[in-house]
Amino acid sequence: MVFVTDRARRPSTASSHWLPDLVLLWLGTCILLVAVILWFDNAQGGLTGNGIFKSMEMKPWIVDPRSATLNASNYLYYPVYGALCRALDGLGIYAGDPRRQMTILNALSASFCICVVYAMVRRLTGDRALAFIASAFHVASSFVLFLAITNEDIMPSYTVLFASMALASVWFARPTPLRIVIVSVIFSIGWLFEWRLMFPTLPAMLAALWLCAPGWRDRFVFVAVFLAGMLGTAAVASLAGQGHAGAAGPIELIWTGKAVGSAWAGFSWLKALNTIDGTVAYLLGTGVTNYPPFFGWDLWRVLGMLAIVAIAAVSAPVLWRRRRDNGVRAVAAVFGGTFVAGLIFNLYSQPQDPQMQINIMGWLTVGWILVAIAACGRWGVRGLAAAGAAPLLLLAYNIWSLAPLRGLDGAWQRSVAHIGQQAPPARTVFVINDFDWFMVYASLHWGQAEPGVATLGPAPQAKPAFKWIGVGSDLLRHSDWSVEQHVAGLQAQIDRALELGYDVIISQQWELDEPGLAATIGTLSNQSHAGAIWRMLHARYRADSAFDDPLGGRFYHLRRSP
């Protein structure tokens, strides 16, 4: 026990009978998360449409897994979730609808993660009450709660990864080759679900081994054993995948290169600001605190940042004072190292994305336990009660913050039907932003289609039903193009659609000014090209109002300027 408390020394709290607590905790968390899923009625969550497209890619693994294609960057995710979706089909739970089944599977996965939190804190502190408080704090954190009730693909990867981090924080205080191999295998299974999870935590794992090894020779041996465990796990996964389309070798699995050199890659000042937002939003939901700016920030940013700084201010000195303790070194290196490496990694990619923040912010749960221990030491039972009440308030607030996004699945289904009546898909090509929710739900209800008009014949054309030109599609797919190429490519697509006789309908992207259009492109590395695209659109074309939609906004007929 690294952070043993006076309470833990009492027989009533030092009891070793954990199984009833873990079963109760898992069932209670499952019931809570499934209830929120049913209440929320928004499988996508209102932030990204990844879950819709992942569910479409999942279907071959549900219908005919033997002929399905493996993805090197998600090598275990599709086979495992495909099998679990088939099991839910057999139970009649959202049968035939993997988009919603993924929310249930994520909730079950998150419940296991909460049990891991309990076991880790119980082992580190010996205190049953603190273990329950840590579990409540973890599930109440905004991004953990959000990703546990939506169909994003990160939760199973995160659960396995967190299990490896928890085990490392306990075992690496006294590492042995067997312990190191076990942690390495569990860690590797986690990144074999989602490859990019390797990077923030691998440096942290190696740092923990380096700091806790008894001698120089042991440091090199321990690091080598950990890396050998990774390679061995990748080799086993590679052998298991042989015969499948897309099967990859172990070296290819260890380095898939996902998103490296993509349109998302690169550093910018905007990403630095987004890093702050993503870090704060991990703790506090943003849905109902978007009030007028307070000192230039919305209220949730101010409160969230103050809370995170306060937790760090209490916990960091505790760890520093005990920095020569191997148990403390292991915890600090694993969780603190993941956070520091993750900040750098996220600055290169998408720092505002919940999936990019959830795996690096686990230190906050450890920090909260140190806050709770300090509160108990100073105020006794009242401090413990306050530390236990805070996660419950956080959970209530974060569920409340979801309310503005509630029911969007049904609402968007009605909107897509309404838009289809106003602009019949057989005769219409839409010009929309690649991150527009209409694109996401039109793909769901009309059928997924690649952007562009290269394969279209003259209007009308029934298939594909959804025909669209993405304002930023070439920015995403051709990050090496010049601004002139991006502008010319978009113009050529619009002109081609008009020549083929289609009604070209542009979304409310038309109403944006240059900075507004740039903002909709997010953190793409070539975001600066948006200004030239905006100028081309408004110089080359004119737009007449076509129709309004409650969710999609105003749509315009796009025509060439005289």
The pLDDT, as a whole number, for residue 3 is 75
Tens digit of each residue's pLDDT (9 = 90 or more) over 384-409: 999 999 999 999 999 998 988 899 88
Mean pLDDT of 172-198: 96
Least-confidence region, from 345-354, 396-405, 455-464, 523-532: 523-532
**Same domain for 504 and 393:** no
**Same domain for 227 and 241:** yes
The pLDDT, as a whole number, for residue 295 is 46
> What is the pLDDT confidence band of residue 231, given thresholds at 50, 70 and 90?
very high
Burial state string for 166-176 with b = 16 or more CB within 10 A and e = fewer than 16: bbbbbbbbebe
The pLDDT, as a whole number, for residue 293 is 47
Tens digit of each residue's pLDDT (9 = 90 or more) over 121-145: 999 998 999 999 999 999 999 999 9
**131 and 53 in contact (C-beta within 8 Å)?**
no
Mean pLDDT of 151-178: 96
The pLDDT, as a whole number, for residue 294 is 45
| Mean pLDDT rounded to a whole number for the chain | 89
The verdict on residue 17 lying in a domain is: no
Domain boundary pick from 358, 374, 404: 404
The pLDDT, as a whole number, for residue 194 is 94
The pLDDT, as a whole number, for residue 479 is 73
> What is the pLDDT confidence band of residue 265, given thresholds at 50, 70 and 90?
low
**437 and 42 in contact (C-beta within 8 Å)?**
no
**3 state DSSP class of 497:** helix
Domain boundary pick from 404, 425, 447: 404
**44 and 129 in contact (C-beta within 8 Å)?**
no
Q: Kindly report whether the global pTM for this prediction surpasses the value 0.85.
A: yes
Least-confidence region, from 316-330, 410-424, 472-486, 527-541: 472-486
- DSSP assignment of 387-427, as one string? HHHHHHHHHHHHHHTTGGGTTHHHHHHHHHHHHHHHS-GGG
User: Assign residue 447 a region: left if phi > 0, alpha if psi is -120 to 50, beta otherwise?
Assistant: left
Mean pLDDT of 371-376: 92
Q: How far apart are CA 30 and CA 36, in angstroms?
A: 10
Q: How far apart are CA 102 and CA 447, in angstroms?
A: 19
Name the residue range of residue 211's domain.
Answer: 25-404
**Same domain for 453 and 316:** no
**150 and 48 in contact (C-beta within 8 Å)?**
no
The pLDDT, as a whole number, for residue 480 is 75
Structural domain total, the chain: 2
**Same domain for 301 and 420:** no
**Same domain for 259 and 124:** yes
Mean pLDDT of 45-61: 83
**Same domain for 149 and 238:** yes
- 261-to-76, 254, 349, 476 alpha-carbon distances in Å: 24, 17, 10, 11
Burial class of residue 450, CB neighbours in 10 A (0-12, 13-18, 19+):
exposed
- 537-to-488, 506, 516, 534 alpha-carbon distances in Å: 11, 11, 14, 5
Mean pLDDT of 470-475: 82
- 223-to-185, 202, 227 alpha-carbon distances in Å: 14, 11, 6
The pLDDT, as a whole number, for residue 291 is 46
> What is the pLDDT confidence band of residue 14, given thresholds at 50, 70 and 90?
very low
- Tokens standing for residue 255: 């380095």
User: Assign residue 325 a region: left if phi > 0, alpha if psi is -120 to 50, beta otherwise?
Assistant: beta
The verdict on residue 19 lying in a domain is: no
> What is the pLDDT confidence band of residue 90, given thresholds at 50, 70 and 90?
very high
**3 state DSSP class of 349:** coil
**Same domain for 261 and 140:** yes
User: Assign residue 91 a region: left if phi > 0, alpha if psi is -120 to 50, beta otherwise?
Assistant: alpha
- Tokens standing for residue 412: 């968007």
The verdict on residue 15 lying in a domain is: no
| 148 CB-side CA count, 13 A | 29
Mean pLDDT of 371-391: 92
The verdict on residue 13 lying in a domain is: no
The verdict on residue 551 lying in a domain is: yes
The verdict on residue 3 lying in a domain is: no
> What is the pLDDT confidence band of residue 8, given thresholds at 50, 70 and 90?
low
**Which amino acid is residue 43, in one-letter code?**
A
**Which amino acid is residue 261, in one-letter code?**
G
Q: Which segment, 15-19, 418-422, 475-479, is predicted with the most confidence on average?
A: 418-422
Tens digit of each residue's pLDDT (9 = 90 or more) over 67-84: 999 999 999 999 999 999
Residue ranges with strand state E in 417-540: 428-432, 468-470, 503-506
The verdict on residue 12 lying in a domain is: no
- Tokens standing for residue 478: 């051709």
The pLDDT, as a whole number, for residue 39 is 96
**3 state DSSP class of 505:** strand
**Same domain for 71 and 147:** yes
> What is the pLDDT confidence band of residue 477, given thresholds at 50, 70 and 90?
confident
Greater confidence (369 vs 482) lies with 369
The pLDDT, as a whole number, for residue 532 is 87
The pLDDT, as a whole number, for residue 347 is 79
The verdict on residue 135 lying in a domain is: yes
- DSSP assignment of 124-181, as one string? HH--HHHHHHHHHHHHHSHHHHHHHHS--S-HHHHHHHHHHHHHHHHHTTS--HHHHH
Radius of gyration, alpha carbons of the chain: 25
Least-confidence region, from 61-65, 114-118, 518-522: 518-522
> What is the pLDDT confidence band of residue 489, given thresholds at 50, 70 and 90?
very high
Mean pLDDT of 224-239: 97
The pLDDT, as a whole number, for residue 513 is 87
**Same domain for 452 and 316:** no
**Same domain for 147 and 257:** yes
**Same domain for 386 and 444:** no
Residue 93 has pLDDT above 60, yes or no: yes
Domain boundary pick from 358, 386, 404: 404
**Same domain for 302 and 369:** yes
Tens digit of each residue's pLDDT (9 = 90 or more) over 286-296: 765 544 444 44
